[in-house]
Each structure stands twice: as structure tokens, then as C-alpha cells.
Amino acid sequence: MARAATSAMSRRLSPALVVAACFSLQAAAANAEPGSQAATLSPDVTVTQGALRGAPRDVSGVLAFKGVPYAAPPVGAQRWRAPQPARPWSGAHDATAFGPRCMALPGRGLARLDSPASEDCLSLNIWTAAKSSAERRPVMVWLHGGAFQFGAGAEPNTDGARLAAKGVVLVSLNYRLGVFGFLAHPDLDKEGAPSGNFGLQDQIAALKWVRANIAKFGGDPNKVTLFGESAGANSVGLLMTSPLAKGLFQRAIGESGAFWDSEQGSIRTHAEALARGRALADRLGGGTVAGLRAIPAEELAAKAPWTLALDPVTQAFSPNIDSFVVPEAPAKAFAEGRQAKVPLLAGSNGAEGAIFMGRSLPHGTASEFYAAAAAKFGAARSDDFAKLYPAATDSQLNASAETLMGDLVIREQVWEWLQMQARTGRTPVFAYQFDRRSAYAPVPIHSAEIDFVFGTLAPQRLAKPDATPNAGDRELSDRMMSYWINFARNGDPNGAGLPRWPAYRADRPEAMIFGDGAAAGPEGATSRFSFLSAFRTNGRLPEAWLDPPKPPGAAP
């Protein structure tokens, strides 16, 4: 009956609306099923597409279901099309092992990602300690980082078992990356909706699958927290402005990201994304998408390169303002109150700029640094800049150059996210600053907080090989997990036995400082963020910041 209804609709609706209708029918079918599993939750669970067989409960009582398809494989003719509903299967689908990660840059990304890559990668993972499907635990859906170019939902340091053991249903997922997730081209626009944000559409499809099925795992489909780090946090910010994601999550957490801005400016336009796609098609596919679809995935990934030395916002296949998934500059939507009115918890790390120094302003000498700053920000602001980013000594110069990179790539946009949601969101907002320094976590670099949030306390990148977490690290991790879970449950991180976390106010901003312990304090560096935010116009940073300016069709 559902297939017949879908077929009838497809004769009179656009492709984008047909996809939405399919997911709606899928959700309705799932919600209409009798509650036969409400008694005891076991490794055998039936979802919309069929039966799953997950892993038995671990020592903490957590069930795990891995590699669960949430959409059909985006392969062949479906490459660069909106995600389609996952196909039904017969028998019990093996959900004891992670599915392949999405195609990414060959040889790039996180060293701990050693799973095979495939275009057939749209799967998610679920951890739950619920004893019954009737429990309705809060749900947390994790979006991994990686500049929209690499990463996966199966990274060891984001294993969801520890958070699940503390009371949530944890979901992680893969979404299409790089050229596979974010190619825009006029041929694709003719096939349906504006193109280029397929990876974001994957995230939305996963959220719809969660809404339709998560009650089977003891989760509450009306209490979903979307959270992520870096590109994952940028995804959260973008989806808060997307009409396609409306109502799919009720809380938002962003770790080190917000609007997909960078040191070279703001999220790029659809026209620029189309020009980039045309340039790739002209170079590799005879000028057509059909030609690009004929190229094997591994070959295409190798011929659409990107490195950490390049800005992924302006020099890679990544999100664009397509007026479909992303209707406008996200900072403008937040400033004018058109974002999702959901509680927000967001923050950044003390040494965000360290891994981005390959793209920093020249700073061999103080004179060189200040000359580059004057060219970027204007000579009239040179005195203000020098006060905020001093360079009286070599060490101070290097520290200021790194601080500036962290501000431009991460911290300023997170600050604006907090400010705008506090002013126009009409919902509770909470800010944090992660500045933990120990033998295990010697520098609070970009992504250092993830291991604390998930309780995995996996090896930190800059720590010595034999460094292990001490009691302070473990206590801080436990507190951060409790805060995140309380927020998922109540829209407020506070709870019994935890230091009070004050709500964020735009006119009197306070943050929770995660350092030697957890303590609230005044928000730091506000003057630096105010300086940088003053360069925004209608939500966008200056186009003159493109350095060197790239023609819109230039290859990444």
C-alpha cells in the first residue's frame, strides 16, 4: 500500500518532495506497528526495513547495533542524488559490525580510521542500555568532524557505550563527504532540487530514520539532541537554519564549529559551488555529470584532492548556500531569528589554532605579521589589532598568530552562535571553554574534548605514547558526560552533584571552564571576537578575505 501511494505521488510531485513523502510513509509505518517489543529489549529488534540482530549486552548492560542502513546505497545512477529510503531486507540483518566509512581523501584523515571505505556507506550505529522499548530515554545523535572531507561514525574515541550506560540512546552515523557529498553542477540541478549539499541531506535522512525507529531501542523520538564537533558542529548550526530539518531535533550541542566560516570568509554561494563542479566535470568527465558518474569511486577521490593546508570552506567540495537545504547565510538567519528555537550548548577549545597554522598569516617577524593583518583587516584597525594580538616578543608573536587562527577558524563563529541564539532564539543557551592540560591531554587542541565527552579517554594526539589519564582526567570526563546527558534530558546541563553551570546571557556572558576541574567564570576573549564580528555584513565575512582570491571555478 505504501508503494502504491508513493507511486501515485511520484507522478505529480517533484523528486525532492517524493523523497520526503517516502520518508514520511516510512515513519508512519513504523509508528503504526504494534508494541510487541515493549516487554524486554534484546539484541533482536525489528525496524521499518526488517529485523536486526545486534551484539549482546556488554558488562555495563549496553546493547550495540552497528552498520544499520538508514538510506539506500548512493551508487551508480544514485551518486549525487538525494538519499532514498533504505530498502527492506529479508531475514535478520547482521548489526554486530560497523559498516564501511564513506569515501574520503585517500591517505587522509585520522590515523585511527582503518575501516574500509565505500560509496555504499549510509549506515548508523546505536547504543542503548534500555531494558524495554517503552522507556523513552533521551536520544543523542552524533555528527563526526573532518572538514566534510574525512571521518566516520565509527571512530574508536566516539564509541557510544559509555554515554549509553549513563542513560541516553546514542546514535552515530556516516554521511557522504568531499566530492561525493558536496558536488554541485547544473546537470544535477536539472534532476531535482539545487545540488551540492547531499552530505547534509544524508544527515537529515538519518534524523528521519531515528524519528521513525528509535522508540524500538528505548529512545524518545521527541527528545533528540543533535551534537557534533568541527564539521559536525557546523552541520548542527546549518541544520538549525534548514527548513528540511525542522522538528527533527529538540536540542543542539556544537563543539568547535557553527556557521562553516573560515579565515578566508563565509560559507560559499551556490553559484561558486556550481562553477567548481563544472570545472571538475570539464577536467574529468567530458563536461557532464554522466561522465563523472562513470568514474570509479577510488579514482574520482584521488582526482579531486584536498589537503589540510587548504581551506575546506573555500577550496574543497563542502556545504554551500543552495537555497534548499541551506536557505541563506546561517549567521544572518540566526541574527534575524529564523533558526530553530531549541536549547543550545556550545563552546570551543583553548588551542584551536594549533592544527591550522599551515594557513596562518605570515608571522616571521612582528612587522610581517602586522603588515599582513593591515592588508586583511584594514590599516585603520591596526592599533586595535595590535592590542588584541600583541607581538612584543617572539613567543608572544607566535602565540598571537596561533590565537588569531583559532579565532578565525573556530572561536569567533561559536561566540556569535551563542550570542545570536541568546538574543533571538528565545531558548536556554549554555557556553563552555575546554582548557584541560595534563600529561594525558597536554594541549587543548581542536577535537581534544571529544574523548572526555564520550568517556573513551583514547590516546591524545600530542601526548607522549605512555601517557594515561589520571584521576583528574577521569573525573572531568565523568562530569562532562553528566552535563551533556542532563542537557539531552532537560535542555539544561545542571544536575545533582555538579558545579552550577549558569545560563549564557548576551549582555553578561559566562561559561563553564573545563580545565583543572569544572567551574563557571566570565567568558574570555570577548573583545577579540567583537573585533572580528564587526567585519560581518548581512551574516557574511568580507569577500576580500579570500587570500589569494580564487576564481570560482578553480579546482580545489
Strands 123-128 and 169-173 turn out to be: antiparallel
Collapse the DSSP code of 180 into the 3-class scheme (helix H, G, I; strand E, B; otherwise coil) and give the result: helix
446 is catalytic: yes
User: Using CA atoms, how far apart are residues 196 and 80, in angstroms rounded to an integer?
Assistant: 8
> Cα(276)–Cα(94) distance, rounded to whole angstroms?
40
Range 550-553, long-range pairs (CB < 8 A, 24+ positions)? 550/314, 550/315, 551/275, 552/271, 552/272, 552/275, 552/276, 553/275, 553/276, 553/278, 553/279
Helix (H, G, I), strand (E, B) or coil at 198: helix
* Residue 154, helix vs strand vs coil: coil
Closest CA to 435 of 343, 332, 515, 331: 515
Of 283, 221, 289, 230, nearest to 27 by C-alpha is 221
Beta carbons of 483 and 493 less than 8 angstroms apart: yes
Instruction: Name, in order, each residue with C-beta under 8 angstroms of 484's C-beta and a sequence gap of 6 or more.
Output: 140, 163, 227, 253, 345, 453, 493
8 A C-beta contact, residue 517 and residue 470: no
Determine the Cα–Cα distance for residues 278 and 295; give it in Å rounded to an integer: 16
Cell of 230: 568541527
Report d(CA 315, CA 56) in Å as an integer.
45
Backbone dihedral angles phi then psi of residue 93, each to the nearest 5 degrees: -75, 130
Torsions phi, psi of 225, nearest 5?
A: -105, 120
Which candidate in 133, 446, 477, 523 is catalytic? 446
Q: Which three cell numbers, joined as nine digits, stand for 371?
A: 603588515
The helix/strand/coil state of 164 is helix
> And the C-alpha cell for 130?
534500555
The question of whether 352 is a catalytic residue gets the answer yes
Instruction: Check 119, 229, 272, 352 and give the catalytic one.
Output: 352
Strand partners, 143: 228
The DSSP code sequence of 474-527 is: HHHHHHHHHHHHHHHHHS----TTS---PPP-TTS-EEEEESSSEEEEEPS-HH
Based on the residue annotation, tell me whether 299 is a catalytic residue of this protein: no
Closest to 345 in 3D by CA, of 256, 441, 246? 256
Angle subtended by helix axes 526-533 and 412-424, to nearest 10: 80
Are the C-beta atoms of 409 and 415 separated by less than 8 Å? Answer: no
Residue of 123, 133, 172, 230 marked active site:
230
The interaxial angle of helices 198-213 and 15-32, nearest 10 deg, is 20
* Residues involved in catalysis: 230, 352, 446
